[in-house]
Structure 1
Amino acid sequence: MEKKLQNPTSNKNETPAPQGGKWPDETIIRYIIRAFLLLIVFAWALVNLDAVLCFLGKVLALFTPFLIGGAIAFLINVVLRPIECCWNKACRKAPAKLTRPVCLTASTVLILGILFAVVFMMLPSLRESGDEFIQNIPVYVEEIGRWWAGVVQFAAKYNIVLPEYVIDSDLLIEKVTALISDEKSGILTVTWGAATSVLSVFVDVLLGFVFALYLLAKKETVAAHLKKLIETVLPQKTAQRLLSIAALTNQTFTNFVSGQLTEAVIIGVLCFFGMLILGVPYAGAVSAFVAVTALMPIFGAWIGGGFGAFLILLAEPGKALWFILFLIVLQQVEGNLIYPKVVGKSVGLPGLLVLMAVTIGGEAFGILGMLFSVPVCAVLFSLYLEFMKKASTH
Structure 2
Amino acid sequence: MDQGKLKSNLILITYAILLFLSLQNWGLIMNVIREVFHLIVPFIYGFIIAYLLHRPFNFFYNKIFKFDNKCKYKILKHIRKPIALVTTYLVIIIIFIGIISLLVPHLITSIETLTRDLPDHYKAAQEFAETIFKDLHIPSEFILEIQQYATQIVQQIISFLYSALPNIVDSIFNITSGITNIIFGIIISVYLLSSKEKLVLQSKKILLAFTPNHFAYHIIRISRLTHKTFSNFISGQILDAFILGLMCFISMSILKMPYALLISVIIGTSNMIPILGPILGAIPTTFIILMANPTHPMQAVWFIILIIVLQQIDGDIIYPRVVGNSIGLSGLWVMFAILVAGGKFGIIGMIIGVPTFAIIYTLLREATYFKLQQKKISSTNIDAKEKDIED
Judge same fold: TM > 0.5, yes or no: yes
TM-score, normalised with respect to structure 1: 0.74
Q: Deviations over 1:37-81 (max 9, x none)?
A: 112211222232212211211122222221221122111113322
Aligned to 1:352: 332
How many Å separate the matches in 2 of 1:292 and 1:25? 63
Q: Offset of 1:360 from its aligned partner?
A: 1.0
Aligned to 2:302: 322
Distance in 2, Cα, partners of 1:234 & 1:154: 78
Q: Distance in 2 between matches of 1:131 and 1:310?
A: 15
8 A Cα contact 2:121 2:293, kept in partner: no
Structure with bigger gyration radius: 1
How many Å separate the matches in 1 of 2:143 and 2:367?
73
282 and 40 in structure 1: CA distance in 2 versus 1, 3 angstrom threshold? same
Deviations 1:101-146 (A, max 9, x none): 3433343344455556666625753444443663585587467536
How far the C-alpha of 1:335 sits from its partner, in A, is 4.4
- Aligned counterpart for 2:8 among listed residues 24, 31, 53: 31
Q: Give the percent of matched residue pairs that are identical in Structure 1 and Structure 2.
A: 27
Change (3 A) 1:54 1:303: same
1:61 and 2:38 matched: yes
Query: SS of the counterpart of 1:347?
Result: coil
Change (3 A) 1:201 1:105: same
Say whether the 8 Å CA contact 2:49–2:189 is kept in structure 1.
Answer: yes
1:230 aligns with 2:207: yes
Within 5 Å, give how 1:284-299 maps onto structure 2: 284-299=261-276
Q: Secondary structure of the equivalent of 1:345?
A: coil
Deviates more, 1:115-124 or 1:281-290: 115-124
Matched, 1:96 2:77: yes
Give the superposed CA RMSD: 4.0
Q: Secondary structure at the match of 1:346?
A: coil
Report the equivalent of 1:253.
230
Most deviating of 292-301 and 139-148: 139-148
Q: Does 1:50 align with 2:27?
A: yes
- Specify the alignment match of 1:105 in structure 2: 86
- Worse overlay, 146-155 or 48-57: 146-155
Question: Which residue, 52, 70, 76 being the options, matches 2:47?
Answer: 70
Q: Hey, what's the Cα distance between the residues in 1 that align with 2:364 and 2:247?
A: 37
1:30 partner letter = K
Q: How many residues are matched?
A: 356
C-alpha distance 239-64 of structure 1, shift in aligned 2 (>3 A): same
Q: What secondary structure, in the 3-state scheme, does the structure 2 residue paired with 1:297 have? A: coil
Q: Is the 8 A contact 1:152 1:162 kept in 2?
A: no
Decide whether the 8 Å contact of 1:361 with 1:370 is kept in 2. Answer: yes
Unmatched runs of 5 consecutive residues or more in structure 2: 145-150, 375-391
Q: Does residue 1:244 correspond to 2:221, yes or no?
A: yes
| 1:374 match | 354
Q: Which residue of 1 aligns with 2:107?
A: 125
Cα pair distance change 1:193/1:131, threshold 3 Å: farther
User: What whole-Å deviation, never above 9, does each CA across 1:8-61 have from its counterpart, x for those lacking one?
Assistant: xxxxxxxxxxxxxxxx33122211211121122112222322122112111222
| C-alpha deviation, 1:370, in angstroms | 1.4
8 Å contact kept, 1:133–1:315: no
Post-superposition shift, 1:236? Answer: 2.8
Cα distance between partner residues in 1 of 2:293 and 2:68: 50
Tell me, yes or no, if the aligned pair for 1:344 and 1:350 is still in contact at 8 Å: no
Checking the alignment, whether the CA contact within 8 Å between 2:61 and 2:80 is kept in structure 1 is: yes
Comparing 384-393 and 374-383, the one that deviates more:
384-393
Moved more, 51-60 or 197-206: 197-206
Letter in 2 for 1:209: I
Alignment equivalent of 1:384, drawn from 345, 348, 364: 364
Cα separation, 2, equivalents of 1:197 and 1:310: 30
Aligned equivalents of 1:195, 1:304: Cα separation in 2: 24
Unaligned stretches of 5+ residues in structure 1 = 1-23, 166-171
What does residue 127 of structure 2 align with?
A: 145
